[in-house]
Structure 1
Amino acid sequence: MKQIQPRSLFIASCLALLVTSLSFGIRAGILGTLGKEFHLDGQELAIITGTAFWGFPLAVIIGGFIVDAIGMKNLLVAAFVLHLLGIILTVSTPYFSSGFWPLFISTLFIGMANGTVEAACNPLVATIFPENKTTKLNHFHLWFPGGIVIGTLLVTLFNQIGLNWQWQVASMIIPTLIYGYLFLRLDFPVTERVAAGVSNSQMYRSVASPLFIFMLICMFGTAITELFTNQWIEILLKNVTEHGILILALTAGVQVFGRAVAGPVVHKISPTGVLLVSAILSAIGLFLMGSVSGYMLIVAAVIFGMGITYFWPTMLGFVSENIPESGALGMNLMGGAGMFAVSIYTYFMGGFYDNIISKNLPAGGTLDTFRSAAAGTPEAAAFTQAQAVAGPEIINVTLIIPVILVVAFGALFFYMKGKNKQTLQTA
Structure 2
Amino acid sequence: MANAIQPQKLFVASCMALLVTSLSFGIRAGILSRLGVEFHLDTKQLSIIAGTAFWGFPLAVVIGGFIVDAIGMKRLLLAAFILHLVGIVLTVFANGFWSLFISTLFIGMANGTVEAACNPLVATIFPDNKTTKLNHFHLWFPGGIVVGTLLVFLLTKMGLSWQLQVATMVIPTLIYGYLFLKLDFPVTERVAAGVSSAQMYKSILSPLFIVMFILMFGTAITELFTGQWIEVLLKNVTENSILILALTAGVQVLGRGIAGPVVHKISPTGVLLISAILSALGLYLLSHVSGNMVFVAAFIFGMGVTYFWPTMLGFISENIPESGALGMNLMGGAGMFAVSVYMYFMGGFYDSIIVKNLPAGASLDAYRSAAPGSAEATAFSQATAVAGPEIINATLVIPVVLIVAFTGLFFYMRSRKKVVKAQVQIV
- Considering the TM-score relative to the shorter chain, is it more than 0.5? yes
Residues 309-318 or 365-374, more deviating: 365-374
Q: What is the Cα deviation at residue 374 of structure 1? A: 2.1
Gaps of 5+ in 1: none
CA distance in 2, matches of 1:103, 1:255: 29
Amino acid corresponding to residue 77 of structure 1 in structure 2: L
Which residue pairs with 1:108 in the alignment?
Answer: 105
Q: Could you tell me which amino acid in structure 2 is paired with residue 66 of structure 1?
A: I
- Residues in 2 aligned to 1:364 and 1:73: alpha-carbon distance in whole angstroms: 56
1:416 aligns to 2:413 (yes or no) = yes
Q: How does 1:74-89 map to 2 (within 5 A)?
A: 74-89=75-90
SS at match of 1:219: helix
Q: CA deviation at 1:366?
A: 2.2
For 2:355 and 2:259, the matched residues in 1 are separated by 44
Q: Which residue of 2 aligns with 1:202?
A: 199
Instruction: Show the counterpart of 1:384.
Output: 381
On the 8 A contact 2:56/2:109 being kept in 1, the answer is: yes
2:355 touches 2:362 (CA, 8 Å); kept in 1? no
Q: What's the secondary structure of 1:242's corresponding residue? A: coil
After superposition, the C-alpha distances for 1:256-292 in whole angstroms (9 at most, x for unaligned) are: 0000000000000000000000000000000000000
The one-letter code matched in structure 2 to 1:129 is F
**Matching residue within 302, 308, 313 for 1:311:** 308
Equivalent position of 2:150 in the other structure: 153
Identify the range of structure 1 (153-162 vs 349-358) with the bigger mean alpha-carbon deviation.
Answer: 153-162
Q: How far is the alpha carbon of 1:368 from its aligned partner? A: 2.2
CA distance in 2, matches of 1:364, 1:210: 51
Q: Distance in 2 between matches of 1:377 and 1:247?
A: 27
Note the 1:204-219 alignment, pairs <5 A: 204-219=201-216
Confirm or deny that 1:280 pairs with 2:291: no
For 1:373, what is the secondary structure of its paired residue?
coil
1:291 paired to 2:288: yes
Q: Once the 2 structures are TM-superposed, how far is the Cα of residue 115 of structure 1 from its aligned partner?
A: 0.1
SS in 2 for 1:17: helix
> 1:282 and 1:41, CA in 2 relative to 1: closer, same or farther beyond 3 A?
same
- Counterpart CA distance in 2 for 1:372 and 1:77 is 41
Q: Report the Cα distance in structure 2 between the residues aligned to 1:370 and 1:34, rounded to whole angstroms.
A: 16
Q: Offset at 1:365?
A: 2.1
| Matching of residue 29 in structure 1 with residue 26 in structure 2 | no
Distance in 1, Cα, partners of 2:317 & 2:324: 7
- The equivalent residue for 2:243 is 246
Query: 1:326 deviation in Å?
Result: 0.2
Q: Which amino acid is 2:15 matched to? A: C
1:226 counterpart (223, 227, 241): 223
Match of 1:320 in 2: 317
- Looking at structure 2, the residues matched to 106 and 367 of structure 1 have their Cα atoms a distance apart, in angstroms, of 26
CA RMSD of aligned residues (A): 0.7
Query: Paired residue for 2:253?
Result: 256
1:425 partner letter:
A
Residue 380 of structure 1 deviates from its aligned partner by 1.4
The one-letter amino acid of 1:381's match is T
Partner of residue 367 from structure 2, selected from 370, 373, 380? 370
Residue 194 of structure 1 deviates from its aligned partner by 0.2
Q: Secondary structure at the match of 2:156?
A: helix
> Which residue of structure 2 aligns with residue 64 of structure 1?
65
What is the one-letter code of the residue matched to 1:31? Answer: L
Letter in 2 for 1:351: G
The residue aligned with 1:39 is 40
Deviation (angstroms), 1:399:
0.3
Q: Which one of 350, 353, 356 corresponds to residue 356 of structure 1?
A: 353
Structure 1 runs, 4 residues or longer, greater than 6 Å off: none
**Which letter does structure 2 place at the counterpart of 1:159?**
T
Contact 2:61-2:115 at 8 Å conserved across structures: yes
Q: What's the secondary structure of 1:293's corresponding residue?
A: coil
Deviates more, 1:371-380 or 1:217-226: 371-380
Is the CA contact 2:116–2:325 (under 8 Å) kept in the aligned structure 1?
yes
Per-residue CA deviations over 1:71-118 (Å, capped at 9, x if unaligned) read 000000000000000000000114xxxx11110000000000000000
Instruction: Give the percent of matched residue pairs that are identical in Structure 1 and Structure 2.
Output: 78
**Matches of 2:190 and 2:243, distance apart in 1:** 41
What's the counterpart of residue 13 of structure 2? 12
Q: State how far apart, in whole Å, the 2-side matches of 1:303 and 1:255 are.
A: 11
**Structure-2 separation of matches of 1:361 and 1:389:** 11
Answer yes or no: is the 8 Å Cα contact 2:23–2:144 preserved in 1: yes
- In structure 1, the residue matched to 2:50 is 49
